[in-house]
Amino acid sequence: MSKRKDKSFLDRVTFFDVVLALILTIGMFTMVYPFWNSFLVSIVPQADLLLNPTMIIPKRLDLSAYEYVFTESLIPRGFVNSFIISVSHAALNVILTVIGAYIFTKKFPGQKVFWVFVLIPSIIPGGLIPSYILMQKLHLINNQLALILPGCFGWSSALYMARFFRSVPVELEESAKIDGASEVRIVWQIIFPLVLPFIAVTALNSFVASWNSWYSGMIYMRSANKMPLATILRDLQQAAKNVMTSDQMAADGQKVVHSEAVRMACVMTATIPIMLAYPFAQKYFIGGLTAGAVKG
Amino acid sequence: MKSKNLEKDSLKSRIGLALYKYKYIYILLIPIVAYVIIFSYFPLYGAQLAFKEYNASKGIWGSEWIGLANFRRMFTEAGFLNALKNTVTISLINLFGGCLWPPILAILFSELRMTKYKRVLQVTYTFPHFLNWVILSGIIYSMFGSEGIVNAALNALGFEDQNLLTNPGTFRIFLLVTGVWKSAGWSSIMYIAIITAIDKNLYEASALDGASRIQRIWYVTIPEIAPIFSLGFIMAFGGLLSGNFEQIFNLYNSTLYEVADTIDTYLYRISFMQEPSYGYSTAVGFTNSVVSCILMFSFNALQKRLGGTGMFEGGVRG
């Protein structure tokens, strides 16, 4: 009886709930519609769109834009490049972060020195030009290593992971030591499996960050067929944008300007895989974000 | 004499012993130290170019010292002063105009009872966070361009064309709105986590005392999320000079330099588009990172003085 009363207090659907659902649904429309509109531009014959620009449901389909994207454009090449770059970057990032985090959890002579040594450059970075000169000196201009190597070790992400290393009970380590396990074995067989979920989240975040980055691709890469997807996509948009705002035509005029449909087909080709994967990956991202907050 | 030798020996053996005892750690240190020296300290070493006139054939070390000339040039260059002003203005607009959306969204989400629908909503609202501004600017240009859906709808309703992409008067607000659209959903996750952790008894007790839903939000939920909100708000001032580079760089064009050119976009243009002066570019970049660092520490200190925990304690303690 009392349970039912509680229910009526807190769980009764009221006018408030209806308004709430309505507000959030309108919000969702503004989140979804831009993607739907771009999708329409990419699959509907342009004549139809000119006649009826505010259409929601298409009457006829025209997939020639996608045909172009997959056969003529550099987009498929960009996918391959981005995949290679992002996987390598994420792998290297995870290896260095795990090593750094493990060192952070240990006491050893020179610990303070090491701490300050890695802290200084992460609070005052050298900047764009010195990094560019570094890449020149390493002869990595127009080499995909220039997109893979930088940014693989960060003080803050190592610290973040060190927190999870510390959450492994000390007793577990000690009893393994008593049983005669070596340091390497303790790390590999005891600590590692316990922190694996956090390592996976670090890898995932690092992969996404690398996948989404376009700036380094823009400044370090020269040949279009070596560029990551995001940079290729940007070049494509930029050529059209410059015509639209009618400036820098001279500088970028030689670049091919595609139709709106082709550009949106490129954008959608880049978006749809993420859209399909995201609902399944979301909980890992959220887990990674909130685990740190709740533990801290 | 003898004792001195002994001391030396013991020091040597102490070091030897430490090296032996901690050999795994020192071996593990090697890749990290090597990586940090190459990829973090070399750029820091290169930052001396801020005081030099870079000459590629002479290298960083051999280039000529010119004192503070690069810095003096910075404060006489109209482009830099304009970029500085815009960076701070845009950051402030985003800070004040954008800070309330994540907590509001979090409250709306946590009040919603339809669990399945809530999941769908959350996936949708957080999705744009995972796309880069290259993709989003493509979508935005297609919608707001002269032949886009927005102008078509305006025409259909009898209004005149609006080109928000080239209008200096509204561009900063346009940045704010598109920025909130991209990231408010994701930023709300942190608040949702906090609200979920609130003791349910608090709500039940206040409901029994006759508090309405609005009153429960006002007296229970908001006081619980307020500390995190103020922490985030104060810390955000530390990022005043790190403007939304990726967003602006993909959305702006030369008609908007006066209102939207920020330090980062300016730095890109002077470094890679016109005749570059590496010394001057380095000075701009390095000033930016030093001032950002000072800002970050000051607001961190202010936050601590106001009774919060600083960002560094959390890590060391944890």
pLDDT digits (tens, 9 = 90+) for B198-250: 998 999 999 898 888 889 999 999 999 998 898 888 888 888 888 789 999 99
Cross-chain Cβ contact B121/A263 below 8 Å: no
Question: What is the rounded average pLDDT of the residues A47-52?
Answer: 82
Considering CB atoms only, which of A109, A114, A184 is closest to B18? A109
User: In sequence order, what E strands does A40-156 have?
Assistant: none
Q: Is the pLDDT of residue B315 over 50?
A: no
Q: Is the pLDDT of residue A63 over 70?
A: yes
List all residues of chain A from 198 to 227 with a beta carbon under 8 Å from chain B: 208, 212-215, 219
Output the pLDDT for position B175: 96
Output the pLDDT for position B6: 58
**DSSP-derived 3-state class of residue B53:** strand
Q: From the candidates A128, A155, A182, A191, which should be mutated to test the interface with B, based on the most B CB atoms within 10 A?
A: A128
For B236-288, write each residue's pLDDT tens digit.
Answer: 888 888 878 999 999 998 889 999 999 999 999 999 887 788 999 999 999 99
Chain A hits for B296, CB-CB cut-off 8 Å, are 123
Considering CB atoms only, which of A54, A159, A294 is closest to B149? A54
CATH number given to B76-317: 1.10.3720.10
For A231-277, write each residue's pLDDT tens digit.
Answer: 999 998 887 776 655 544 444 444 566 788 899 999 999 999 999 99
The answer to whether A284 faces chain B, any CB pair under 8 Å, is: no
Interface predicted TM-score of the whole assembly (ipTM), two decimals: 0.87
The full set of domain ranges for chain B reads 2-65, 76-317
Distance from CA of B103 to the nearest CA of A (A): 14
Cross-chain Cβ contact B146/A9 below 8 Å: no
Cross-chain Cβ contact A234/B134 below 8 Å: yes
Question: What is the rounded average pLDDT of the residues B182-196?
Answer: 93
Report which listed range, A37-46, A244-253, B127-136, B289-298, is most confident.
B127-136
Cross-chain Cβ contact B278/A129 below 8 Å: yes
Output the pLDDT for position A247: 47
The answer to whether A293 faces chain B, any CB pair under 8 Å, is: yes
Q: Is the pLDDT of residue A2 over 50?
A: no
The full DSSP string for B207-239 is HHTT--HHHHIIIIIHHHHHHHHHHHHHHHHTT
Specify whether the CB–CB gap between B49 and A129 falls below 8 A.
Answer: yes
List all residues of chain A from 43 to 62 with a beta carbon under 8 Å from chain B: 53-54
Output the pLDDT for position A1: 40
Q: CA A84, CA B28: separation in Å to the nearest integer?
A: 26
Q: Could you tell me the end-to-end alpha-carbon distance of chain B, in angstroms, rounded to an integer?
A: 49
Cross-chain Cβ contact A102/B126 below 8 Å: no
Distances (CA, A) of B239 to A52, A121, B184, B236, B275: 45, 17, 18, 5, 30
C-alpha closest to that of A149 among A137, A162, A160 = A137
Cross-chain Cβ contact A264/B138 below 8 Å: yes
Output the pLDDT for position A179: 86
Output the pLDDT for position A296: 35
Nearest chain A residue to B296 by CA: give it: A123
Chain B hits for A120, CB-CB cut-off 8 Å, are 44
For chain A, where do the domains classified as CATH 1.10.3720.10 start and end? 73-295
Lowest model confidence (mean pLDDT) among A172-186, B2-16, B48-62:
B2-16
Distances (CA, A) of A171 to A167, A176, B263: 11, 8, 52
Number of Cβ atoms within 10 Å of the Cβ of B313: 13
Q: Is the pLDDT of residue A293 over 60?
A: no
Token pair for A139: 């002869």
Specify whether the CB–CB gap between B249 and B93 falls below 8 A.
Answer: no
Cross-chain Cβ contact A245/B142 below 8 Å: no
Q: Say which CATH architecture domain A73-295 belongs to.
A: Orthogonal Bundle (1.10)
Cross-chain Cβ contact A99/B35 below 8 Å: no
For residue A193, the one-letter residue type is P
Cross-chain Cβ contact A237/B296 below 8 Å: no
What's the CA dihedral at A139, A141, A144, A147 to 10 degrees? 110
Instruction: Place B135 in a pLDDT band, splitting at 50, 70 and 90.
Output: very high
Q: From the candidates A129, A140, A168, A215, which should be mutated to test the interface with B, based on the most B CB atoms within 10 A?
A: A129
A vs B: CB pairs below 8 A: 261
Q: φ, ψ for residue B52 (rounded to 5)?
A: -130, 165
Output the pLDDT for position A163: 86
